[in-house]
Amino acid sequence: MPNYADLINAYPQYDRTHDIDELRQREYSRLDRQGHIYLDYTGGGLYADSQVRQHHDLLVDNVFGNPHSANPTSLAATRMVESARQYVLHYFNASPDEYVAIFTQNASGALKLVGESYPFGKGCHYLLSFDNHNSVNGIREFAHTKGADVTYVPLMLPDMRVDEAMLDDYLELGTAGCANLFAYPAQSNFSSVQHPLEWIEKAHAKGWDVLLDAAAFTPTNRLDLSQVRPDFVPLSFYKMFGYPTGLGALIARKEGLGKLHRPWFAGGTITVASVQGDKYYLADAPAAFEDGTVDYLDIPAIEIGLKHLETVGIDLIHERVRCLTGWLLHNLSLLEHSTGVPLVRVYGPLTIPQRGGAVTVNFFDKDGKPIDIRIVEQAASARNISLRTGCFCNPGAGEIALQISKMDLAACFTQSDHVQRLTYDDFRLCIDDKASGAVRISVGMVSNYEDIEELLKFAEGLLE
């Protein structure tokens, strides 16, 4: 079993991240007090004690009312909401002259706003990588409905990256004078591959609007919107700093936002609406895209969370995650059964450049057969280890990683055409008991050496 000295020998930079250990003791002591090994940061970040206290104090010391008025409590709430909105732009270094921050319930809500409002049309194109969250995949249904073509850019094994030359060819598919949208994640929520941000301007040069899914990237990486300029950036704040849940944002370039046409209107989104006149007039952004009353009591917690991240330092967080991820990858890849069969198969890069803190794997027995991911999760839970199993709402990456072919899927979906829904067990039987999911181990802001040590001990227990 490797020890701490081995980690420092391999990653001497880890020694410069001890401020995070002090932070963990001060702000996240409940982890060690309750014996938690939390390795699901891609699923959700953890909140600091002080975030909750500051938000609580703000609420009990003030009176806030529905912002859609000019009375004192409404104006107080409006000031807090607009302060948080401006702080979102500040945090991402997005000029308010160029970008607007629209509050949504999460990243999926932000993506739905784009999908339902984007001016797809016959002959236009929606281009996206195989490696995308289902909420990005779901936009294809709006594209199909409006007659646009939908094309997926494949991934290359074993690292699960996109071939750059192939991407160049796909970007030639955009139709001149048409609304063409290219969507990809800054970081995969499946393999943790970080796709190049340089693709944004490459696509712009070919006439594409660009949607950059930043949900998995921003918790441990700096996104500077003065340096890269995607048209649409969806994100969820709980992924970044744990609290509040139920709030996200669409950070949109004003130029891109001007192309969107909402299919309906709601309270808060209009300046005037008439029943007898059968007319309505949308407000300017961001109000035009925030349906009903915003979550004005929780939105101030966003600014508190962003300031917490700034205090810790995103570069320090990034370095801690980089070191622990490299250490985890190295040691998992060394584990073998007595038969010589590797215990673990990693889906994605085995090295740390251009990758994030999620390590997605399957475990195999001594005969090379996959161990059911449900058994792995159950065994981990018995040791108070929180990890995640499944395909993580990223079927494209999962199908490539697990080598589930289009033929496998076609046969499966044809058999199930007569039923309303397909269960996981039905799907697994349908693809002849191939591995249909994986185990994702993701480190984050306050992960430490001991977390990885416990995970490796757990993995060793699966040998033989």
Judge contact between 199 and 218, C-beta under 8 A.
Answer: no
Q: How far apart are CA 14 and CA 421, in angstroms?
A: 48
Amino acid residing at 329: L
Take residue 283 and report the two structure tokens written for it: 């407000």
Q: 214, 159, 213: which is closest to 191 by C-alpha?
A: 159
Q: How far apart are CA 11 and CA 149, in angstroms?
A: 47
Q: How many residues are recorded in the chain?
A: 464
Q: Is 393 a catalytic residue?
A: yes
Q: Which of 124, 178, 391, 393 is catalytic?
A: 393
CA angle 348, 349, 350 (to 5 degrees): 120
Active site residues: 393
